[in-house]
Amino acid sequence: MRQEKVPFAETRSFSSFFLDYILQKDSLRPFYSRFPLQENFKVQRDEKSSFPKLHRDVLVRVLQKQYKNVQTTDAVKKNTAALSSERTFTVTTGHQLNIFTGPLYFIYKIITVINTCKRLQQAYPDDHFVPVYWMASEDHDFAEISYFHLYGKKYTWQTDEQGAVGRFNPKSLENLFKEIPGDTTLFQEAYLHHNSLSDAVRYYVNELFGATGLIVLDPDDRTLKQLFKPVIRDDLFNHTAKRLVENTSTALEALGHKTHVHAREINLFYLDSGLRSRIETTKDGFSVVDTSLHFSKEQLEKMIEDEPEKFSPNVILRPVYQEMILPNLAYVGGPAEVLYWLQLKEVFNHYQLPFPIVMPRNFAMVIDAPTRRKFEKTGSQALDPQEYQPGLDVESIHPRCPGHF
């Protein structure tokens, strides 16, 4: 198999905002803590050493519960147990629960965190590094995960379920298997023998990557939400994140960059069976959008204490939730994810949380043999070798950035 590397800028697929970040332009330095260079992970590790022991213990208990009915590898068992140690840290990526894995870059993300942990383990052998896949199980945008393309045909999951997609029963995918060509044994086992989409995705991701020690985490968990209560309370009643994100967005826009996410007054959804909808303030309390649900401040205070699992963070607070429950050093994401993280640094400062290293995932394009032959027949090539710039290619954003080759 031939491999060619193309500088990011030459692909004309990335914004100037993203290119400025990977080129470490001085104008963006105030919006992140450390760039993903191997030597920066040591400083990040030292800062994250403040991660509370209580949070580690909770994390291990939750993972043991979530993996209770999964046949795990020794590597997964070892990594789960290791998370109780103050010398263990994670590198995390997150993605929606697209059926049949969805876009190929889902795999690229996971490979990036796995390779990053391998590189870090070699560089810092006295510590332990665990790759994590954070399932977007609370996301309610079913339309985005309900289909996939194979051999030029679109396959779509039909269901009437609503709310957080991780709670959907995947057995309704059974009819789709009659249409899909090829060996679907892995996915039949996943979807037809589990009662929730989250459990199904954990199963097949574990089957694919369990040998590497990859941990799959479902954040839709009451015990984990207990750790998130201070942020829930602050966002509901003080609306701090909105002010901080707007200030940062204004500063980025003044530099000519288009921001990707917008904070609301309340950045939480109300989460219940068959429902995930925004919480808004009203003249006399709080309401849940598109429902008849209405709460007083006192009722929400009680709900935070007794039922924190009913609050689900949006894109602004999900990263904060992640960093509160994981001893995490870096987050791996696509171009849009990398850029919206740069809007959040002041939110992390407010909650006195270390801001993680933000790493672009690996990028690749697979060109089949017929297309390659057309390239060769016309004398075309992806890039003039004389124009190649080491360190700015599709597979490696920096020669010393762990996880990229």
Q: What are the structural domains, with CATH classification, of the chain? A: 8-224+315-360 (3.40.50), 229-313 (no CATH)
Cα torsion 335, 218, 213, 199 to 10°: value is -110
Its pTM stands at 0.92
> What's the whole-number mean pLDDT along residues 306-323?
98
> What's the whole-number mean pLDDT along residues 123-144?
97
> What's the whole-number mean pLDDT along residues 136-140?
98
Query: How big, in percent rounded to 5, are the helix, strand and coil portions of the chain?
Result: 45, 15, 40
Percent share of the chain, pLDDT over 90: 86
185-192 helix and 197-209 helix, angle to the nearest 10 degrees: 150
More confident: 401 or 46 = 46
Residue 381: the pLDDT is 61
Give the torsion sign (CA, 219, 222, 225, 226). Answer: negative
Contact 124, 102 (CB under 8 A): no
- DSSP label at residue 167: G
- DSSP label at residue 391: T
Residue 1: the pLDDT is 62
Report the distance separating Cα 81 and Cα 76, nearest Å: 9
229-237 helix and 240-254 helix, angle to the nearest 10 degrees: 80
Give the torsion sign (CA, 377, 379, 380, 381). Answer: positive
Contact 204, 186 (CB under 8 A): yes
Residue pLDDT, tens place only, 184-237: 999 999 999 999 999 999 999 999 999 999 999 999 999 999 999 999 999 999
Q: pLDDT band for position 385 (50/70/90)?
A: very low
Q: pLDDT band for position 394 (50/70/90)?
A: very low
Tokens at 270, concatenated: 């109300």
Q: pLDDT band for position 390 (50/70/90)?
A: very low
> What's the whole-number mean pLDDT along residues 61-82?
97
Task: HSE, CB side, 13 Å, CA atoms: give it for residue 68.
Answer: 4
Residue 378: the pLDDT is 84
What is the longest distance spanned by two Cα atoms in the chain? 72
H helices present in 161-269, as ranges: 185-192, 197-209, 222-226, 229-237, 240-254
